[in-house]
Structure 1
Amino acid sequence: MRPVLRLWLPLAVVLSVALWLVLAARMLPVAQWPAPPFDPQVMSLDQILMAFGMMPRGVIALLAGAALGLSGAILQAVLRNPVADPTTLGISAGAQLALVLATILAPGLLAWGRWPVAMTGAGLAAALVLAIGARRGFAPVTMVIAGMLVGMTASAIATAVTLSQGQYLLSLVIWNGGSLVQQDWSGVQALALVLAAGGIGAALLARPLRVLSLGVEGAGGLGLNVAVVRVTAVALAAWIAASVSAELGLIAFVGLAAPALARTAGARGIEQFLALSPPIGALILSVCDGLVLAIAGQGGEMFPTGALTGLIGGPLLIWLLPRLRGSTPPGTEAAEGPAPRLVRPVRLLVTLGIGLVLAALILIWIGRVPGGWAVLDWDSLRAFLPMRAPRLIAAASAGAALALAGAILQRLTANPLASPEVLGVSGGASLGYAAVIFLAVAPGAALLAIGTMAGGAVALALVASFVSRRDMPAERILLAGIAVSALASAVLSAMMAVGDARSWAILNWLSGSSSAVTMPAAMALAALAATVLGFTLAARRWLGVLPLGADVAGGLGLPLRRARLILILLAGVATGAATVLVGPLSFVGLMAPHLARRVGLARPRDHVTGTALIGAALMLAADFGARMAGFPYELPLGLFASLIGAPWLIWLMMRSVR
């Protein structure tokens, strides 16, 4: 272990224990602490709260953190992917979807408890991600793309089902936060058994995983059944993560940060890696929960512990990025394979453009009324046009802007996983919006737009400046974006925990809606999207050369610093402007460039133009679904963009590489 971390880890242990002791002593003097076995009949109220609330909470924080750390370590070891964890692979979102569907649509399924339901959801999500990964040789970037798409689709469906029943998004905010509040010791006992069984399983898998680290062909040559090892390891990790989700809700980031810290701490070999990740995960979650309780004080807990993990883990992971040892070990996994390239892309682009216009006209003419579906007559159309036209223009413009930002970022970083959402741009834009809400008195639309665009540009500039000074592979750039996103999400959760009118304004905006947009605002967004498209087309040479690497680009005379700065500003402005309308939930910036590439639009000019058209079409369809699916309630616009585009992209990824 490195000398600095020999001191760091004991200090973290001391901090965790001291924090809990101080908080427990503040709640009840040490002399009055109850001793086991606990008998409520002879205990005071404060002693009952200590024995069945504070004490099991302190223990379950350690157990849940250790379980998530072990789950993340197993996934990273078996998939040879340093950014794999239950969150990025969609496992936690699958468990969430199953629990939400059971709670709302079939509560009788919960008669046997939440665990079987959560296991089913997590298992199905993991199986789908593995099926996609198997078609692409389990390439690391492909696995994370598949996991994010599966997780995004599951979260979108869970949100849609909840909101369609008239429940508000606040319920999902609480669930996603992950609360460690306890009322007895049953959760501790359950997670202790899970951690013990998971530890035994990890120990049995250690030797096969060490052989697998030699590569698929090398491991197969030594007689290892690679498929069985992968399925077994992923199933074990999914079971551990789903157990935590069933007991506590969603606690993100711990399964990603703990293995990263284990590598930095000097773990050599699979055994040390699997052994060191759980205690580090336990420390991370325990410290976070202690800080939540310390902030809450006597006023009660204001936000769940999971909302704080990003505040600590995000900056920590950014600091650790240049110190991470190794990456994906050498192997023979195949990448996604070359995308098709159309000989005459103009024909497809014209078709996309005509289809977009026809779709907009159709969506203006048809609608849903209390008596069912209706096609508007001419008089009704004239009456409804002032209301429908602005939101359709705004939705299409926002989709085009987000798609262009995603295309710029993917070519700028040569990373097919880059998008405004993944690289923290949407998170930064959200922080900019929230900062204006909290700092300005009655802010107007212009001020909110400026704040949102500035936040997106600053977040992207932070990630770009961090990675530009270091020679980092794509997965570490991705980790930086994930860290920024986690930090932004944690800050937003803390802001919304205040509970006043400003918090509700942020919560309402997070779901994304175009219902209140005016025609001047819609036309302004359309003009901005067109301007970004024009600048992007003008920079098509840069976008064609930058994916070849800095050395090649510089050798061809490309002004690297200026090109990167201009493209970063373009992506930040486009994301910020669109985020004001649709909120940060949409993944159009990830989906549209991939869809354009998979249908054969490869050259920069064709790719950028097709990406903008596909992004606009996704948002038009999402706007229609948001208005009609939950009628008379209106569902989130960004959510429906995920529901439409993600399954299509999953299907494309499932197709065999020829």
Structure 2
Amino acid sequence: MRYVTAHPSFATALLWCLAAAITAINLGPLIGSTGVSAFFSMPSAGDSQAVLLHYSLLPRLAMSCVCGFALGLSGVLFQHVLRNPLASPSTLGVEAGAQLALGVAMLWFPALLGWSRDTATAFGGFAAMAVVFAVAWRFKFQPVTVILTGLVTGLYCTAIVTLLTLMNDHYLSGLFVWGGGSLNQNDWRAVSGLFPKVIGCSILALLLVRQLGVLTLGEAAQGIGIKLQFVRAAALFVAVALTTFTVSAVGVIGFLGLAAPAIARAVGARRINTRLIVAPLIGAALLIIVDQIMQVYTAKTGSYVPTGAATALIGMPVLLLVMMKRGGSLQTAVQGRLSPTTIRRPLLLITALAGLVLAVALVTIFVGRGVDGSWISHTGATLKSVLPWRLPRLVAATSAGIMLALAGSLLQRLTGNAMASPEVLGVSAGTAFGLLCVLFVVAEPTIGDRLIGGLVGAATVLGILFAMSRTAHSGNQFLILGVSLGAFLTALISVVLASGDPRALSLISWMAGSTYGVSSTMSLIILILAIVGAISVTLLVRPLQQFALGDVSAHSHGVDVKKLQILILGIGALLTAVATLIVGPLSFVGLMAPHLAQRLGLTRGLPHLMGSALSGALLMATADFIGRTIYFPWQLPTGLVATLLGGPVFAVLLIRGRRLSTRH
């Protein structure tokens, strides 16, 4: 193992040998029956096996190699320029932006797709990158700011795509299938179109090797004639171009952009000139392996699995295994311990937030749309008739917002990382997977069954994260583990959904985050759980403050660190499970609400927890009103609307603020 990690070329060769072996197992029998002539010449129309090999399987193999190479190279460029091992086309929102642009083009500019689909996806990818940079520039590209903005931008684009699909399912029904990443080919045209673009971008990247090598010197590099801004812009241009070209050709296969560079570094590729070669080759080999395995699986079972989903499904354990062997090499500082300005009278601001939540709740209850679509105020008998519908969903939405906000605040304080939240760490995905398991195990699952399944899924994810990062209660290793595990579970859910099983299909409407079917009894139970959770969290304020000073200091103050961690994990899992069952796993309230409270000046102890809870409640109450009225008479899912609403608010407060905080 030491020899492999010390010689990246040897490790890469081993991976390619594995790719060649699996390819031989899959394609060997067909090549033996048709002969090698199918590689070089057009087969006769009557030879179906040769036609299949020449026009479908061989182009698919070539496409796997080209796309894997492109994504591995783009990931290296992103991570090196931004000096952040978490940077990738997925975490920076580039792929989501490209997908959104494609959806918009399909709806309103279909002629553009006929002319050049690359143009549409490139516009979306560069636009998403521009948004991230517009925010990150103000903070001198602090790693935590870049990833926070990228994650929110990606989620925002995904939420818009989901809403467009819900409103135009007859036009965009195939967009999510494409988004899963399909390498199916009917001829060589797609490969021949993508290959020269990847070669051109690769040449540009290699021309920047010397400049990239001294980029880590920072401002000192300018003293030897390096134009930092030009080098960064050129490298990022190449990275975004590689991503958008790949997304345009085969859809979203985003895990490789994060995994391939991390694996390359873990097997010994320390210098940038080595990683620019090793990481793309690893990415190509990984994608070939995954795609060939999926072909064998499809041939044996008849079930189709998108390669993009399977890449995360198979590639994540590889990344985790490498990280456990050489986790220290992946460590960089991504925490933010810099504190925003703290207001002197937090109680006044908390009271104002509570009043604002109450005002929005009253508007939500009394204001609506009439039969003709006009705005009206409901009173008397009319109010009595609509109240049983509006009040339960309002209570459920605000309660879910409170619970997600508290869970996010707890996780950020526990890990000491501003990016930690149920959504980023995969806890929401664990809840969704737990619910999916319940749907397959229990014939007619009750609310209690779903809650237990979601709780077990969330708790399992948190337990795995802390078990696998024994020495990483801060830093980016914990986050890489969370992002990878979340991608794994999301891919697993996508694979199950792709099977077409009706039990899995019932999960789709829930994942959108709709509160339409919440009953009065359910809303009351959720409210009680939110109140109990809030009280429990407030009792942990003092131990959390002592824990933030370090394990030694906490022990000296009588805090049992291990028991506190287990208690926080349990409360966070319970809060996340209950809230996710109501508003789905797509909302980023758990990430945004604590930061909104910090940007408002509520940074310490109990005021921050209360501000986070009220910010989450305000987001969800406003989202419930907008989702019910903006597209009347149809209703939009509250969870997705909360994302669309909270994203701009979070960006504005982040731009106006100066620093990020994690533990106070």
The normalised TM-score by structure 1 is 0.95
- Aligned residue in 1 for 2:413: 411
Distance 1:471 1:41 in 2: 60
- Aligned residue in 1 for 2:66: 63
**Could you give the per-residue CA deviations for residues 396-448 of structure 1, whole angstroms, max 9, x where no partner exists?**
10111111100000001000000001111111111110000011111111101
Q: Quote the offset at 1:172 in angstroms.
A: 4.6
Q: Quote the offset at 1:466 in angstroms.
A: 1.9
Residue 161 (structure 1) aligned with residue 194 (structure 2)? no
- Aligned pair in 2 of structure 1 residues 127, 328: CA closer, same or farther (>3 Å)? farther
- Aligned residue in 2 for 1:621: 622
Residue 94 (structure 1) aligned with residue 127 (structure 2)? no
Give 3-state SS (helix, strand or coil) of 2:38's partner: coil
- Aligned pair in 2 of structure 1 residues 528, 267: CA closer, same or farther (>3 Å)? same
Distance 1:472 1:10 in 2: 35
Structure 2 residue aligned with 1:441, among 436, 439, 443?
Answer: 443
- Aligned residue in 2 for 1:359: 360
Q: Quote the offset at 1:314 in angstroms.
A: 1.8
- Aligned residue in 1 for 2:511: 510
How do 1:139-288 residues align onto structure 2 when only pairs under 5 Å count?
Answer: 139-167=142-170, 171-214=174-217, 216-288=218-290
- Aligned pair in 2 of structure 1 residues 472, 540: CA closer, same or farther (>3 Å)? closer
**Could you give the per-residue CA deviations for residues 12-44 of structure 1, whole angstroms, max 9, x where no partner exists?**
222222222322245565335653554365442
Residue 452 (structure 1) aligned with residue 450 (structure 2)? no
- Aligned pair in 2 of structure 1 residues 542, 280: CA closer, same or farther (>3 Å)? same
- Aligned residue in 2 for 1:12: 15
| Paired letter, 2:156 | T
Answer yes or no: is the 8 Å Cα contact 1:626–1:640 preserved in 2: yes
Distance 1:117 1:484 in 2: 31
Answer yes or no: is the 8 Å Cα contact 2:335–2:416 preserved in 1: no
Answer yes or no: is the 8 Å Cα contact 1:164–1:630 preserved in 2: no
Give 3-state SS (helix, strand or coil) of 1:213's partner: helix
Q: Quote the offset at 1:252 in angstroms.
A: 1.5
Residue 47 (structure 1) aligned with residue 50 (structure 2)? yes
Give 3-state SS (helix, strand or coil) of 1:288's partner: helix
Structure 2 residue aligned with 1:76, among 71, 79, 104?
Answer: 79
| Paired letter, 1:143 | V
Give 3-state SS (helix, strand or coil) of 1:303's partner: coil
- Aligned pair in 2 of structure 1 residues 25, 36: CA closer, same or farther (>3 Å)? closer
**After alignment, is 534-543 or 553-562 more displaced?**
553-562
Answer yes or no: is the 8 Å Cα contact 1:398–1:581 preserved in 2: yes
| Paired letter, 2:3 | P
**Could you give the per-residue CA deviations for residues 467-520 of structure 1, whole angstroms, max 9, x where no partner exists?**
2x2246421111010111011111111211221210211222211211111111
Distance 2:591 2:396 in 1: 20
Q: Quote the offset at 1:277 in angstroms.
A: 0.5
- Aligned residue in 2 for 1:3: 3
Answer yes or no: is the 8 Å Cα contact 2:332–2:475 preserved in 1: no
Distance 2:449 2:335 in 1: 48
Answer yes or no: is the 8 Å Cα contact 1:137–1:335 preserved in 2: no
| Paired letter, 1:430 | A
Distance 1:112 1:169 in 2: 19
Answer yes or no: is the 8 Å Cα contact 1:71–1:241 preserved in 2: yes
Residue 368 (structure 1) aligned with residue 369 (structure 2)? yes
Structure 2 residue aligned with 1:130, among 119, 133, 153?
Answer: 133
| Paired letter, 1:267 | A
| Paired letter, 2:242 | I
Give 3-state SS (helix, strand or coil) of 2:392's partner: helix
How do 1:512-527 residues align onto structure 2 when only pairs under 5 Å count?
Answer: 512-527=513-528
Give 3-state SS (helix, strand or coil) of 2:500's partner: coil
Give 3-state SS (helix, strand or coil) of 1:161's partner: helix
Q: Quote the offset at 1:281 in angstroms.
A: 0.3
Q: Quote the offset at 1:626 in angstroms.
A: 2.4
Give 3-state SS (helix, strand or coil) of 1:88's partner: coil
- Aligned residue in 2 for 1:551: 552
Distance 1:123 1:370 in 2: 42
Distance 1:293 1:472 in 2: 40
Answer yes or no: is the 8 Å Cα contact 2:38–2:53 preserved in 1: no
Answer yes or no: is the 8 Å Cα contact 2:70–2:243 preserved in 1: yes
Distance 1:96 1:238 in 2: 13
Answer yes or no: is the 8 Å Cα contact 2:331–2:477 preserved in 1: no
- Aligned pair in 2 of structure 1 residues 389, 442: CA closer, same or farther (>3 Å)? same
Structure 1 residue aligned with 2:400, among 389, 394, 398?
Answer: 398
Distance 1:202 1:380 in 2: 66
Answer yes or no: is the 8 Å Cα contact 2:103–2:175 preserved in 1: no
Answer yes or no: is the 8 Å Cα contact 1:177–1:251 preserved in 2: yes
- Aligned pair in 2 of structure 1 residues 201, 324: CA closer, same or farther (>3 Å)? farther
| Paired letter, 1:220 | Q
**After alignment, is 540-549 or 507-516 more displaced?**
540-549
- Aligned residue in 1 for 2:498: 497
| Paired letter, 1:490 | A
Q: Quote the offset at 1:201 in angstroms.
A: 1.3
Distance 1:580 1:61 in 2: 37
- Aligned residue in 2 for 1:583: 584
- Aligned residue in 1 for 2:662: none
Q: Quote the offset at 1:627 in angstroms.
A: 2.4
**After alignment, is 162-171 or 265-274 more displaced?**
162-171
Distance 2:291 2:204 in 1: 28
| Paired letter, 2:404 | L
Q: Quote the offset at 1:99 in angstroms.
A: 0.6
**Could you give the per-residue CA deviations for residues 88-141 of structure 1, whole angstroms, max 9, x where no partner exists?**
011111111111111112212223121001111111111121221111111111
Answer yes or no: is the 8 Å Cα contact 2:353–2:615 preserved in 1: yes
Distance 2:337 2:109 in 1: 39
| Paired letter, 2:498 | A
Distance 1:376 1:26 in 2: 72
- Aligned pair in 2 of structure 1 residues 171, 588: CA closer, same or farther (>3 Å)? farther
Answer yes or no: is the 8 Å Cα contact 2:93–2:153 preserved in 1: yes
Distance 1:543 1:217 in 2: 38
- Aligned pair in 2 of structure 1 residues 168, 511: CA closer, same or farther (>3 Å)? farther
| Paired letter, 1:4 | V
Distance 1:329 1:506 in 2: 38
Q: Quote the offset at 1:379 in angstroms.
A: 1.0
Distance 1:288 1:150 in 2: 28
The normalised TM-score by structure 2 is 0.94
Distance 1:174 1:71 in 2: 23
Distance 1:548 1:598 in 2: 22
Distance 1:203 1:472 in 2: 37
Answer yes or no: is the 8 Å Cα contact 1:142–1:336 preserved in 2: no
| Paired letter, 1:358 | A
Structure 2 residue aligned with 1:430, among 423, 432, 436?
Answer: 432
Residue 349 (structure 1) aligned with residue 364 (structure 2)? no
Aligned length: 654
Q: Quote the offset at 1:162 in angstroms.
A: 2.1
- Aligned pair in 2 of structure 1 residues 270, 518: CA closer, same or farther (>3 Å)? same
